[in-house]
Each structure stands twice: as structure tokens, then as C-alpha cells.
Amino acid sequence: MLVTVNGTQASGVFRGRGGALETMAAAGTGAPPGPLLSFHFGFARDGAPGAPIAFAAGTGLNRADGLFQTDGANVVELLPPGSVLPNSGGLPVNFLGEPFLAQGALAGIAAHAVAGGGADLFRGVYRIEARALRPVADTATALPDGFGVPGTFSSQVGFDGQTLAFSASRGPLGENQGMFVQPAPDQPVRLIMRDGASFPEGGTVARLISPPVVAGGEVYFFAYDAANQARLLRYASGALTTLVRDGDATAEGGPLQSLGQAGLAVDGGRVFFPA
């Protein structure tokens, strides 16, 4: 799946299968609140072949503030445009990060952003159920284990339909970072790792690389140490494991370099990453 751009405006969501692109939704596509005019630079789909996709879009120009699902023929509204952000004092959604659809469940980031850029007035991590935002974490609520109230969240989450993982930061420059997980709906959010903590094999975490990937209830993510060396970590059954790190030898005998630069996928228990 991909979103194309016409100038600075995302113009639609399309599916490619090695040949001509198939239009899933585009400017002017009919939807329950009216014709869609704006699309966020992101999309989400279930892992099953041919399954519907979910995407952020809106009926106003440069305002993708609702969530929708389509099979290429019919558009269903998952979250009405401009929905109120819980705990925000009544602020409406005017920004949606890339939604994540898995096993028929939906999660993502939503915010009320300042016009023209700058810091969000409010931002949160949500499960989307029954056409409404169900808060998991937000910038008005302290996160556990002494992390405090976050200043922001990354624009993507990791989600497998049940377990939801996300990164948060706080401080003037976002220098305090943490990776968190909610194992299932209604369960408490847990801190997995934060800056200043120790890696399983030793060394200190300097910063995290988002977004995480979640598969089978396990969380996978990259983190850097103070020497800018990256590690790929897995959180499973309450414990962290380092799977691979910069400098580890490959099967060909050379050292791995530049872990975490782009991309991470998990399929059938196998982990794929560029380096």
C-alpha cells in the first residue's frame, strides 16, 4: 500500500501488486461524512491478503482528522473527523499519525496540533473502538515507574491487535525517552526501557529508535548506547533480550553496521532488518 502526493497534498491511497496501481481511495471518494479531500502520509492494513485497509483522511483541505476503512469499493468511517480527544479539555483531533490495523483492531496516535507547525497542544496514544478514542497514554497523564508526564509521543505505534507498544519523550529537547507496552486492553501500561537504563549485556541506553514492532505479544525495537552503537532488542514475558548489535559478525564474517537506520519486520517468529 502507498499514499501518493500531489505537490504537498497527499492525494490518495493505492495498492500495487507488481502491475498497475489499484485506487483504494482518492480525492473525491465518497465517505459517510462527505467526499474525502485530504489524506495523511501513512496507512495501515491487516496482515491477511486482500484484507481492508485503514487510513487517516478528512473532508477538508490539509486536514486528515478522521479514520476510515476500505476494501477498494466501500468506505466505512472508523473515527469521525474532529473527534474530541479524551482528557484534553475538549480539544478536537486535527492530526492523526499512521493508524495500525491488526486482527480487526485499530490503534494509533492522535493530537491537536498548532496551526502552522510547532508543538502539539495535546497528543495521545489510543485504541480506537466503537468509533471513539480509548486512551492508553496522553500528555496530561503521568506514565509509570517515575517517568512522569510525557511531552510527546512518536507518530507510530507497534500493535498486533492486542498488545500495544509506543515510545514517549519529555524534557525541553525530548532528551528523556521511554518505551512502553500495554499487553492488552484495560491492562496497566508498563515501562520496558528508558534512557539511562542498562542493556541486558551491559552498557547504558542513550536513546531509543521508534517505532517499535509488536508480534505475538512480543515487542521489538532498536536503541543506541552513548557510543552511537545500535542494538535490536526483544521484550517478551517481562524480560529484555539483545538479539543483535552493531559489530556482531555476519554469516559471511563481516561486522554488522548501521542497525536501526530504516525498517524492521517480524513474520512467523523471524526478524528482518536492514544493516
In whole angstroms, what is the distance from residue 159 CA to residue 61 CA? Answer: 29
Other Cβ atoms within 10 Å of 117 Cβ, number: 6
Note the pTM of the prediction, 2 decimals. 0.90
Task: Write down the pLDDT at residue 89.
Answer: 96
The number of helices, as runs of H, and strands, as runs of E, in the chain is 0, 24
Q: What is the pLDDT of residue 253?
A: 85
pLDDT at 43: 65
pLDDT at 44 over 70: no
Model pLDDT for residues 227-239, shown as the tens digit of each residue: 889 999 999 999 9
89-102 per-position pLDDT tens digit: 999 998 888 888 88
pLDDT of residue 118: 67
Contact between residue 107 and residue 164 where contact means Cβ atoms under 8 Å apart: yes
Of 6-20, 53-67, 118-132, 248-262, which has the strongest mean pLDDT?
118-132
- Specify the pLDDT at position 46: 59
CB contact at 8 A, 248 and 256: yes
Closest CA to 242 of 251, 250, 252, 232: 232
**pLDDT exceeding 90 applies to what percent of the chain?**
52
d(CA 131, CA 111) in angstroms, rounded, equals 16
Q: What's the pLDDT score for residue 116?
A: 65
> Is residue 10 scored above 80 in pLDDT?
no
Confidence (pLDDT) at 36: 87
CA distances from 258 to 77, 82, 85, 142 (A): 40, 40, 38, 34
SS3 at position 3: strand
pLDDT of 224 over the 80 cut: yes
Q: What is the mean pLDDT of the chain?
A: 87
